[in-house]
Structure 1
Amino acid sequence: MNNLIWLLRASKWARNPPSPRMVKLVLAIVALAAALVVLEKLGWWPDWARLEHGRGVRLPR
């Protein structure tokens, strides 16, 4: 059933594609998120912006 929903959504997008402005907005958000992940992985994320005690289950590294 889930595949049918995605097929209907894809057909809707094929008939009414998003505007170029919306595509640029989504790509900018994805690029910003990727840049934040890269900064964190390289260790360039500032200490004041790190979370000391997060909520949820702690998994050992």
Structure 2
Amino acid sequence: MNQLRWLMRAKRWAQNPPSAKRVKFVFAIIAACLALYAVEKTVGLPDWMKVAGQTHPKIRPAEQP
């Protein structure tokens, strides 16, 4: 009955919507996260944040009988 719970929450949210200040706060947090993600993708991680000796296991295909 998770859908019923979400419908009840949506009903309460429609009756008492959040203030404009809270909506701006949430959008600011989302924008900050997107900005950090963009910086990470364009510039990359600094060396001190990388794991030393990180290896990826080699996956071999399954042997055919």
Larger radius of gyration: 2
Q: In the comparison of the two structures, how many residue pairs are matched?
A: 55
Partner amino acid for 2:5? I
> 1:2: which partner in 2?
2
Aligned-residue identity in percent:
42
**Aligned twin of 2:51:** 52
The residue identity in structure 1 corresponding to 2:12 is K
Distance 1:5 1:35 in 2: 33
TM-score (norm 2): 0.70
C-alpha separation between the residues in 1 aligned to 2:29 and 2:2? 27
Deviation at 1:39, TM superposition (A): 0.5
Work out which structure has the larger RCO, using CA pairs closer than 8 Å and 6 or more positions apart in sequence: 1
In the aligned structure 1, how far is the partner of 2:23 from the partner of 2:35?
18
TM-score (norm 1): 0.75
Runs of 4+ in 1 over 3 A off after TM superposition: none
CA-CA distance at 1:50 after TM superposition:
2.2
1:18 corresponding residue in structure 2: 18
Superposition CA RMSD, Å: 2.3
